[in-house]
């Protein structure tokens, strides 16, 4: 039999396969952060037309490129669960961790210095959100590969703005607007994402006179053509959003028109 183009015996094949699987697992990091679904609902927030790159790759699991790596997110009533595939990964998707395994390595790896939005929310208020939002750092931190789950938790806390108490805001808005109050219970956990400003701006430009499906396709083509390849998950390549410099070449306009951009 062959493995990666090499002729191997059955014993050699099993050994090579186990090593390949082990390598794949070492290129991923898992964990979770405490956060009630009333503070973030992934299915609404990631698919409502803010970001156009998250795909529901299996029921209740969302995959995209964030901060230079491939991420898959899931959710329970009180936790956001994640698996991060580091740059260069090439293999199948792996299951998300079970947050109930409190005595497992997942619990040992959890960020104990900041338990997610529950602790962050103690430091926030409606007044702070309204008057100090401009003070947030909008630059998404790059992830290093030191296997520290706190690095990954920090990315999610920043991306979902978990320092903002959404339940308090919903209460404030419901008290001020009867129309909002009438629909709020059906749309809990809708949160504004703190996206990379370059991606956010160009996606907004693509949104003119378009629907979410077409915008998503345009953004995906933009990434495949001018972004940097991050890895391959389930045989599908993933790319970063292109830099401004990558979009300034002489042939860019012609190429984008060939991809269906413009009118």
Q: What is the pLDDT of residues 83-129, one digit of tens each?
A: 999 999 999 999 998 866 643 444 444 444 444 555 555 544 433 33
With 70 as the cut, is the pLDDT of residue 18 above it?
Answer: no
Q: What is the pLDDT of residues 209-263, one digit of tens each?
A: 788 998 999 999 999 999 999 999 999 999 999 999 999 888 898 999 898 887 6
pLDDT given for residue 21 in this prediction: 53
Where in the chain are all domains bearing CATH 1.10.340.30? 198-258
What pTM value is reported for the model? Answer: 0.75
Q: How far is CA 246 from CA 15, 140, 203, 218, in A?
A: 42, 19, 16, 16
Alpha-carbon distance 108 to 128, whole Å? 33
pLDDT given for residue 173 in this prediction: 96
Q: Phi and psi for 30 in degrees, rounded to 5?
A: -125, 160
Residues 189 and 166 sit within 8 Å (Cβ to Cβ): yes
pLDDT given for residue 223 in this prediction: 95
More confident residue, 148 or 83: 83
Where in the chain are all domains bearing CATH 3.30.310.40? 29-191
CATH node for 29-191: 3.30.310.40
With 90 as the cut, is the pLDDT of residue 140 above it?
Answer: no
Q: How far is CA 154 from CA 18, 50, 80, 116, in A?
A: 32, 20, 13, 9
Q: What is the pLDDT of residues 52-87, one digit of tens each?
A: 999 999 999 999 999 999 999 999 999 999 999 999
pLDDT given for residue 209 in this prediction: 76
The number of angstroms, rounded, from the C-alpha of 249 to the middle of its chain's C-alpha atoms is 29
Q: How many CA atoms lie within 13 A of 125 on its CB side?
A: 3
Give the Cβ contact number of residue 99 at 10 Å.
Answer: 21
Q: What is the pLDDT of residues 156-188, one digit of tens each?
A: 999 999 999 999 999 999 999 999 999 999 999
Q: How confident is the model at residue 145 (pLDDT cuts 50, 70, 90)?
A: very low
**How does DSSP assign 202-228, residue by residue?**
HHHHHTTT--HHHHHHHHHHHHHHHS-
Right CATH for 198-258 from 1.10.340.30, 3.30.450.20, 1.10.599.10, 3.40.980.10: 1.10.340.30
């Amino acid at each position: 039999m062959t493995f990666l183009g090499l002729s191997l015996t059955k014993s050699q094949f099993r050994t090579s396969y186990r090593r390949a699987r082990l390598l794949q697992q070492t290129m991923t990091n898992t964990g979770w952060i405490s956060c009630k679904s009333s503070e973030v609902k992934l299915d609404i927030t990631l698919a409502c037309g803010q970001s156009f790159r998250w795909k529901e790759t299996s029921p209740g699991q969302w995959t995209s490129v964030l901060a230079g790596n491939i991420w898959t997110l899931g959710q329970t009533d009180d936790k956001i669960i994640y698996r991060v595939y580091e740059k260069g990964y090439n293999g199948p998707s792996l299951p998300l961790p079970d947050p109930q395994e409190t005595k497992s390595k997942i619990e040992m790896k959890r960020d104990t210095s900041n338990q997610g939005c529950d602790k962050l929310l103690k430091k926030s208020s409606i007044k702070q959100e309204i008057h100090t939002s401009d003070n947030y750092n909008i630059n998404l931190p790059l992830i290093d590969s030191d296997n520290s789950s706190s690095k990954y938790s920090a990315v999610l806390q920043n991306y979902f703005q978990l320092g903002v108490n959404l339940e308090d805001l919903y209460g404030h808005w419901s008290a001020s607007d009867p129309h909002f109050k009438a629909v709020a219970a059906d749309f809990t956990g809708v949160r504004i994402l703190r996206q990379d400003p370059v991606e956010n701006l160009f996606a907004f430009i693509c949104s003119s006179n378009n629907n979410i499906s077409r915008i998503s396709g345009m953004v995906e083509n933009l990434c495949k053509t001018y972004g940097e390849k991050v890895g391959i998950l389930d045989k599908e390549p993933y790319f970063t959003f292109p830099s401004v410099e990558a979009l300034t070449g002489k042939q860019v306009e012609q190429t984008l028109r060939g991809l269906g951009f413009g009118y």
